[in-house]
Amino acid sequence: MNLKETSLTLVNHADTYACAMPDEPRWLTDHERDAWLALAKLMFNLPSALDAQLLRDNHLTLFDYFVLSGLSMAPGRTMRLSDLASHLSCSLSRLSNVVKRLEQRGLLRRTPDPESPRYTVASLTDAGWDLVVAAAPGHVAAVRDYVIDGLTASQIDVLREVACHVTRKISEAPEASTR
Amino acid sequence: MNLKETSLTLVNHADTYACAMPDEPRWLTDHERDAWLALAKLMFNLPSALDAQLLRDNHLTLFDYFVLSGLSMAPGRTMRLSDLASHLSCSLSRLSNVVKRLEQRGLLRRTPDPESPRYTVASLTDAGWDLVVAAAPGHVAAVRDYVIDGLTASQIDVLREVACHVTRKISEAPEASTR
DNA sequence: AGCAGATTGTTCAAGCTTGAACCTGAAGGA
DNA sequence: TCCTTCAGGTTCAAGCTTGAACAATCTGCT
């Protein structure tokens, strides 16, 4: 509502804070901070906005939808759980929980991989396929409304570049530090 | 790791799906879909990446940090909970829970607003201030590493435009539908 | 005054996510 | 063969978020 583009974070503590880190921290410029705060707000609010539409109309979370949609595009509508997890960049634990719930709702089936008993594959059922097909138009409309429509082609281009840059940096992160 | 820029969602179901929605859905073009999938991946992974850094180094979630940082920038390091909630675009319920935990850790204090007993204000304690000051450099470094560094000034500019556009669209959303 | 309704904030149950522990099956040595 | 290690997958406890219900305060209307 009346929430302005206020600063969410990153006070410049340079005055009170003097040399406790190895290198002097490089604070964000105003230009950089504005972009980061806007992105932070997007990160906080867009997932719940899309969740809300899917939950209201199809009783699915956004993550549920990605799982079903991923399967719907796989050959035979079937995928190994480990492949699906890396496809979705999520933990196997999270996927296992979600898949169990979706299976209980009859939207997919889990079976041992016939090629190697060590893997488990998930297969979309007809009910699952029908649900994805029914949910897709509303979801696309929400994505268009919140994100795509109203942007120019070049803005969309830069959005892709920037988002790919961020996800690449995250996937390259050390992942192991002093602890 | 070996996660490619695979398609997370939005199969074109146009073949199997024929006229069940009021208007024919406008599917995303390849160009639009690439940008959306990249943004979706960012949305899923950036919050946990920033959480991980703050949790590891300062035992704070990103949201905790925003709460403390918001207070640190307020006059008197004090704010009404309702103002803080709209500042952070979060529910009062969520803020109430987080503030309770932060108070138990001695990082802030809750007191009735002296100007009107109807409000509650949260004030950063010295320990809370010290923690924000200690956490800020590492957090800024992570934001730089994952997002800002490596982008050109004009990419940063477009990022801000796009993110502001999305958050504006979300805040303008009807919010009330058939249910 | 008095009453309806909105706003502020808390609490509780239900659901989801995370990380650790665990089990199974496969691969690699010695 | 035996032992170790690792990858795939599940489960459980702990923590967080959400939404509804509630109490308290304020505002506006008559």
How does residue A25 score in pLDDT terms, banded at 50, 70 and 90? confident
Q: Report the distance separating Cα A107 and Cα A129, nearest Å.
A: 8
Contacts of A40 (CB under 8 A, 6+ apart): A8, A9, B66
How does residue A152 score in pLDDT terms, banded at 50, 70 and 90? Answer: very high
Give the mean pLDDT of A35-60. Answer: 96
CA of B122 to C1' of D21 (A): 25
Quickly count helices (H) and strands (E) in chain A: 6, 3
Chain A, 86-145: which CBs lie within 7 Å of strand C? Answer: 90-91, 93-94, 97-98, 101, 116-118
What is the rounded average pLDDT for all residues in chain B? 87
Which tokens sit at B100? 């309770």
**B48 is near strand C: CB distance < 7 Å:** yes
Question: Stated in angstroms, how far is A110 CA from D1 C1'?
Answer: 35
Residue B176 in this model has a pLDDT that exceeds 80 = no
pLDDT of residue A159: 98
Q: Is A116 exposed, middle or buried (0-12, 13-18, 19+ CB in 10 A)?
A: exposed
Residue A178, both tokens: 């002093």
CATH number of A30-171: 1.10.10.10
Confidence band of B117 (pLDDT split at 50, 70, 90): confident
Single-letter code of the amino acid located at B94: R
Identify each DSSP E strand in B26-139 by its residue range: 78-80, 108-112, 120-124
What's the rounded mean pLDDT across residues B30-37? 97
Per-residue pLDDT tens for A83-107? 999 999 999 999 999 999 999 999 9
Written as six digits, the tokens of A38 are 């806007």
What's the pLDDT band for A178 if we cut at 50, 70, 90? Answer: very low
- Class of the CATH-defined domain B32-171: mainly alpha
pLDDT of residue B96: 97
Q: Is the pLDDT of residue A143 over 60?
A: yes
Q: What confidence score (pLDDT) does residue A2 get?
A: 33
User: What is residue A7's predicted lDDT score, i.e. its pLDDT?
Assistant: 39
Q: Strand D closer than 7 Å to the CB of A45?
A: no
Q: Which residues pair with A109 in a beta bridge?
A: A123
pLDDT at A81 over 80: yes
| Cβ atoms within 10 Å of A8's Cβ, excluding its own | 22
